[in-house]
Each structure stands twice: as structure tokens, then as C-alpha cells.
Amino acid sequence: LPDDQDQPIYVSADQASLNERTGVAVYTGAVEIRQGSMILQGSRVEMHRDGQGSISRIITTGSPAEFQQQASPNQPVTKAYGLRMDYQVPTQTVTITENARVVQDADEFTGERIVYDMDNSIVDAFRSEAQGGQRVQMVIQPKANP
């Protein structure tokens, strides 16, 4: 939701470790991060903080890692899956790589790398660089005719 950013962030994980020098907190083992309607799940999460101590970036990896968010009240929930998710908080963009998959209301986007712009709810998908690698795929389910 638009006001997700102002919500507090809850984190639950098996272990957590903080690297004082770099300020990067690392959580491992069934990690789940909630902020408003946004949910991030994965087996390992790195949380980076900017100079002022606010979270600037969350890197989640898992097999697969999951992301869920509702862009606006009337919009269905958008879910995303991928082996690795790089959530840039300032730009409100999540970069999902390796078997990235975004699902919204039964429509589905897959690709090697997907960038989800949460503010404008825009999903950019990219094919893999290697030849013969996975291409971007979309599946649009038949809807009851309006």
C-alpha cells in the first residue's frame, strides 16, 4: 500500500548477526520481514542501513525467496518469487534474479531478472544474458468477459 513505507518493519529469523563495521545485519533461517502489506521471506536476508541508520537495502535469498505486496487497496496482491531479491528501499524497487517470477491475480511474469517498481507498480523483466538462457515469459489467464 502507498503508506507501507511508514509502517514499522518486523523481522523474524532463526539467527541474526550484525557487522558493526559495515552496518549490515544478516538474518538466516526461515527469515520473514513484514512492513505494512509487504512481506519478504527467504532463507537469508542482508539488511543494509544508510548513513542516517535507516534501512536502505534488503537482500533476500532463498529457494525461492518470496515477496508480497498490495500496491493499492483496489489492486489485487502482487507476489514475487526468485532465488535472490534485492530490495532498494529509497527507490522502492525490488530486483529479483534467477528464476524470477511475479504473479498478480493469476497473471504471471517470469524471466531471468525482474525489476518491480513498487511505487508505479511496474514490472520490468529481462531475459538471461547467456544464449539459450531463459527468456521473459508472461501468462495472461482468460478473464470473464467484462
Partner 1 sequence: QTDERLWVCNLLPNGEWDCEVNELLMDAQGTPQPALTSPSPSATTRPATPAAAAPVTTAPEPVTADTPAVPVSSEPAAEVQTFAIEPPADFSGVPATPAADTPQVSTDTQPHTAVSSTRARTADAWECTAGFDGNWSCAPGNAQAVSVAQLGRFNTPTAGASGVLLNNPYAYLDWYPHTGTEPMLCKGRYVEPEIAYLQSEFADGEQPIYAEADLSSADLQSGLARLTGGVKIQQGSRLFTSRYGEVDNSARTAFLEGDVTFREPGVLLVGQRAETDFNAGVSSFYSAEYVMHYEHLRGSAATITRYDDQRVRLESGAITYCEPGNNDWSIASGEITLHPDKGYGVAKHATFRIADVPVFYMPWFRFPIDDRRQSGFLYPSVGASKSDGFDFSIPYYFNIAPNLDDTLTVRYIEKRGLLLENELRYMNSWSHNELSLAYLSGDDRKDDENRWLTGFKHSGSPADRWTSRIDYTRVSDNDYFADLGTSLEVQRTDHLDQRGQLRYQGDGWNFLANLHQYQTINDNLSSPYQRTPQLLLTGNERLNRRASVDYQAEYVRFERDRKDFFANTSDIRRTDAQRVHLRPTFSHRNSRPWGYMNGALTLWHSSYDFDFPEGADSSDIPSSVTAGIASLDSGLYFDRDFSFSGQSYSQSLEPRLMLLHVEKDNEQPTLSQFRYFDSSQLSFSYNNLFDRYGWSGNDRVSATSQATIGVSSALYDDRGMEKARIAVAQAHYLQDRDGNDLRPGDISGTESSSNLALLAQWNITPNLRLRHDSEIDRDSFNMEEQNYQLAWRPDDENLFYFSYRDRVNSAIPSRDRTRQSDIVFRNQINPQWGWIGRWQHDIANRQRLDTLLGLEYGTCCWKMRLTAREWLSSSNVRGSEAEYDRGVFVQFVLRGLGSFGGDGGRSLIEEITGFREKDHDNF
**Residues that bind partner 1 in the complex, under the rule CB under 8 A:** 24, 26, 46, 59, 61, 71-72, 75, 78, 83-84, 86, 88, 90-91, 95, 97-98, 104, 107, 109, 111, 115, 117, 119-127, 129-133, 135-143, 145-146
Q: Looking at beta carbons only, is 8 or 54 nearer to partner 1? A: 54
Q: Looking at beta carbons only, is 8 or 146 nearer to partner 1? A: 146
| Rounded-to-integer distance, Cα 138 and Cα 136, Å | 7
CA angle 100–112–121, rounded 5-degree value: 55
In the complex, minimum distance from the CB of residue 127 to partner 1, in angstroms, rounded to a whole number: 5
Amino acid identity of residue 54, one-letter, is S
- Local structure of residue 70 (DSSP, 8 states): -
97 C-beta neighbours (distance < 10 Å), count: 18
Q: Looking at beta carbons only, is 33 or 96 nearer to partner 1? A: 96
Q: Length of the chain in residues, anyone? A: 146
Q: Looking at beta carbons only, is 13 or 111 nearer to partner 1? A: 111
In the complex, minimum distance from the CB of residue 62 to partner 1, in angstroms, rounded to a whole number: 11
Residues 6 or more apart whose CB falls under 8 angstroms from that of 132 comprise: none
